[in-house]
Amino acid sequence: MIKLTINNVPALFIKAFTPDDVETIIHFARDAFKFHSSSSNTILFIDTPITNATVEAVERLKDEGFDVVFRDHHGIDGEPTNDRELRVVKATHKLRQMLADNCTITVRRLHPACSTLVATGEFANAVAIIADPDADGLTAAMKAAGISYPGLDEDAAKLDGEPQLQVTGTPISQLLAKGIAVIPSYDATRPKEREIAQQKLFSDWVKAVEGNEAALARLEEQVASYDQAVMVSHDLVKSAVEVAPGVVLVDVSNKPLFDPGTLNALLETNPACRITVVRKDLGPIAAVHGIQYSLAVAKSFQNLINLHDLVPTDAKSSPEGGIISNVSFLLHTSEDVWKSEVLPRLKEGKCLV
């Protein structure tokens, strides 16, 4: 969870999955309203996961008299193929019923970045903005509040794309991408470390976009850390092993900080590589289960491979359950789920083409 004030608009960056997350959103909106001077009572949700918790938060805020606007690109593209996608479809229907014209839910294929769903300053008088705690959520919230720059939409699409593409935007965008790459992974022994580092990065980047030279200098200092992480990635790729046809795994547990984008790009130079797997001891699932496996589909196969085929159709996305996945080309699992569900299916050729 990250709290920022962007162009005088309070913004909360959070993924709503639990009852506690719902309460956090409600209290944030109420507190923001206490200090709101405009006649507007609008609350914007943008780039937020379409979950039951999100629906509950929207419904409660609407019942309290707020004018809730919902904009997102995580709709299901086509017919749902599993229980998770079916839950998204049902939640989408509820949101559209509640909000009518105030609800815009599209798909990434049409809107690769949520910043394309708002005009610059469209929500400059909003009570609050609720967004996903990632680069897409940040750029969308920033633009909605009235801060933008030429090329922001194109940058946002790259920042929300495959890791190896995230550092290919404009120079200011590259500073955000490189800063995100070297944020410490979630560590249960230091639960606030990642959140504090991410809040500082987001705050500095918004200030740098506005022309703050001190913030820009702090961002540039992190480039050296990124360059070192790239070198580590080059060393790690030498240890890659093929665990199933077209599936390449690298174990980074207890290893120095590395850059995921560089590592994936190096692995994908092998034309036989269709899925990359990173085994690690840090991350939201690792915090609960000790080890986390992060799978990603190589870009050229993303329209052909659905990683959701590797887990039970009724699987729910949560760290506690050992599965996290919001898109078909990314999947994170616990070691138990990896060994009992994912790896056997990979060896059987499930989801591979």
Q: Between the CA of residue 95 and those of 13, 56, 59, 164, what are the distances in Å?
A: 20, 10, 8, 34
Entry pTM: 0.83
**Rounded CA gap, 321 and 109, in Å?**
29
* Span between the terminal Cα atoms of the chain, in Å: 38
Q: 88 lies in a domain?
A: yes
Tokens (6 digits) for 131: 């967004």
Residue with more model confidence, 291 or 270: 291
Name the domain count of the chain: 2
In this structure, the answer to whether residues 127 and 265 fall within a common structural domain is no
Q: 215 lies in a domain?
A: no
In this structure, the answer to whether residues 120 and 22 fall within a common structural domain is yes
Tokens (6 digits) for 18: 């639990």
DSSP for 126-194, please give it.
Answer: -SEEEE-SSHHHHHHHHHHHT---TTHHHHHHHHTS-GGGTTSS-HHHHHHHHHHHTSPPPBTTBTTHH
Average pLDDT, the chain: 93
**How many CA atoms within 13 Å lie on the side-chain side of 188?**
13
Q: Considering only 7-11, 179-183, 190-194, which range has the smallest mean pLDDT? A: 190-194
In this structure, the answer to whether residues 146 and 255 fall within a common structural domain is no
Give the distance, in angstroms, between the CA of residue 134 and the centroid of all CA atoms in the same chain: 5
In this structure, the answer to whether residues 133 and 254 fall within a common structural domain is no
End position of a domain, from candidates 159, 179, 201: 159
Residue 69's domain is classified under what CATH number?
3.90.190
In this structure, the answer to whether residues 15 and 144 fall within a common structural domain is yes
Indicate the length of the chain as a whole number: 353
End position of a domain, from candidates 159, 185, 202: 159
In this structure, the answer to whether residues 11 and 109 fall within a common structural domain is yes
**Rounded CA gap, 327 and 84, in Å?**
10
Q: Considering only 125-139, 183-197, 201-215, which range has the smallest mean pLDDT? A: 183-197
Residue with more model confidence, 286 or 162: 286
Q: Which of 276, 280, 287, 275 is nearest to 322 (CA)?
A: 287
In this structure, the answer to whether residues 37 and 146 fall within a common structural domain is yes
Q: Which domain range does residue 342 map to?
A: 236-347
In this structure, the answer to whether residues 152 and 248 fall within a common structural domain is no
Mean pLDDT of 213-230: 94
Tokens (6 digits) for 290: 């000790």
Helix 52-63 with 19-34: angle, nearest 10 deg: 30
In this structure, the answer to whether residues 154 and 15 fall within a common structural domain is yes
Mean pLDDT of 49-60: 95
**Rounded CA gap, 238 and 25, in Å?**
44
Torsion angles phi and psi, residue 4, rounded to 5? -140, 155
| pLDDT class of 257 with cuts at 50, 70, 90 | confident
Residue 315's domain is classified under what CATH number?
3.10.310
End position of a domain, from candidates 141, 159, 177: 159
Residue with more model confidence, 191 or 148: 148
Strand partners, 42: 67
| pLDDT class of 328 with cuts at 50, 70, 90 | confident
In this structure, the answer to whether residues 261 and 149 fall within a common structural domain is no
In this structure, the answer to whether residues 148 and 246 fall within a common structural domain is no
pLDDT at 350: 75
In this structure, the answer to whether residues 141 and 242 fall within a common structural domain is no
Q: 168 lies in a domain?
A: no
Q: 172 lies in a domain?
A: no
Q: Is 2 left (phi over 0), alpha (psi -120 to 50) or beta?
A: beta
Is pLDDT at 186 greater than 80 in this prediction? no
**Rounded CA gap, 309 and 278, in Å?**
19
Is pLDDT at 353 greater than 60 in this prediction? no
Contact between residue 191 and residue 291 where contact means Cβ atoms under 8 Å apart: no
Is pLDDT at 232 greater than 90 in this prediction? yes
pLDDT at 352: 66
Within 10 angstroms of residue 272's Cβ, the number of other Cβ atoms is: 10
**Rounded CA gap, 221 and 201, in Å?**
12
